Amino acid sequence: MEILSEIADNLLHLREKKPLIHHITNYVTVNDCANMTLAVGASPVMADDIGEVEEMVAFAAALVLNMGTLNLRTVDSMLAAGRKARKAGIPVIFDPVGVGATKLRTETAAAILREVRPSVIRGNMSEIKLLAGLKTDIKGVDSAAAEEDGEIIAAGLSRELDCVVAITGKRDIIAYRNRLCYIDNGHPSLAQVTGTGCMATSLIGCYCGVTDDWFCGAAAGILTMGLAGEVAQRSLRAGEGIGTFRVRLFDAVSTMLPEFILKEGKIHGVQIGN
């Protein structure tokens, strides 16, 4: 299908242009996000002080905001960098980690939606449901929500916020205006490594740094991570577990070829509405 070719092309563009991806993110998975950004071919910068984020984001091709380890210092930085990016036409990718788990997270996410108006939101089903105003089970930062009705929720939230909404899970769902797609790549082991969601968000940032089609950028990031999970899992031998799996994720992304995306990508797209 057509979107796969677009993704494969964007991978090539990305490796040629090496877009700078500014992250304001958490201290748990920040190293993984930087290395994943490098693995796919882009260039990471992780500045988060209020005294420099507006200057830094001005150089960037995309801004990733991830609220994995929120604190008051970086919330202000996220808002300032986000507003600046938005004004400059730089895409903002938002990962609302653990929204709903605490008041601080819920309020911060609301402030980012309102003041930054992100270009792409990527979350698990619990997080997206929460943003959509639905009741959901929250337990820490991992998803405990059922995956039914994901497309309706994603499409509804996308329409409400006029941004790309991506839900990752067993089957990933991406919605924007009258477009919707499903991705069936990935492997359950991805949930056994911390930060694979964050890394998917970073990859979305990398792709959105080279295309104006953010729906496609979101699909590209999630597909790349899903394929990496499959490659990593297949490579495991007896006695190897999540340590080796995690290392192989970076191997898989850094050696991924456009042809592989075309051959193994499982995207199923539909037009919705009119």
Query: Which residues make up the interface to a second copy (CB under 8 A)?
Result: 20, 22, 26-32, 34-35, 38-39, 43-49, 51-52, 55-56, 59-60, 68-73, 98, 101-105, 138-142, 192-195, 231, 235, 239-244, 246-255
Separation of alpha carbons 110 and 131, rounded Å: 8
Nearer to a second copy, 158 or 202 (CB): 202
> What are the residues whose beta carbons fall under 8 Å from the beta carbon of 98, sequence distance 6 or more?
67, 68, 105, 127, 138, 140, 141
168 among the known binding-site residues? yes
Rounded least distance, CB 60 to a second copy, Å: 7
Quick one: 4 or 34, whose CB is closer to a second copy?
A: 34
Tell me the C-alpha to C-alpha distance, in Å, between residue 170 and each of 69, 104, 183: 25, 28, 9
Asked if residue 265 lies in contact with residue 10, where contact means CB atoms within 8 angstroms, the answer is no
C-beta separation of 117 from 85 below 8 A: no
In whole angstroms, how close is the CB of 74 to a second copy at the nearest point? 9
Q: Give least dist CB 253 to a second copy, A.
A: 7
Give the contacts of 54 (CB within 8 A, at least 6 positions apart).
80, 81, 84
Q: Is 104 exposed, middle or buried (0-12, 13-18, 19+ CB in 10 A)?
A: middle
Q: Pick left, alpha or beta for residue 236 (phi over 0 → left; psi -120 to 50 → alpha; otherwise beta).
A: beta
Q: How far apart are CA 88 and CA 250, in angstroms?
A: 31
Q: Minimum Å distance from CB 91 to a second copy?
A: 16
Q: How far is the CB of 181 from a second copy (least distance, A)?
A: 27
Residue closer to a second copy by CB (options 29, 185) is 29
Q: Which is nearer to a second copy, 69 or 117 (CB)?
A: 69
Does 46 count as an annotated binding residue? yes
**Toward a second copy, which CB reaches closer, 5 or 59?**
59
Say which residue the tokens 């260039």 belong to.
43
Q: Is 73 marked as a binding-site residue?
A: no
Smaller CB separation from a second copy, 52 or 212: 52
* DSSP-derived 3-state class of residue 133: coil
Distance separating alpha carbons of residues 73 and 60, to the nearest angstrom: 21
Q: Please state the closest distance from residue 209 (CB atom) to a second copy, in A.
A: 12
Binding-site residue numbers for substrate are: 46, 195
Binding-site residue numbers for ATP are: 122, 168
Binding-site residue numbers are: 46, 122, 168, 195
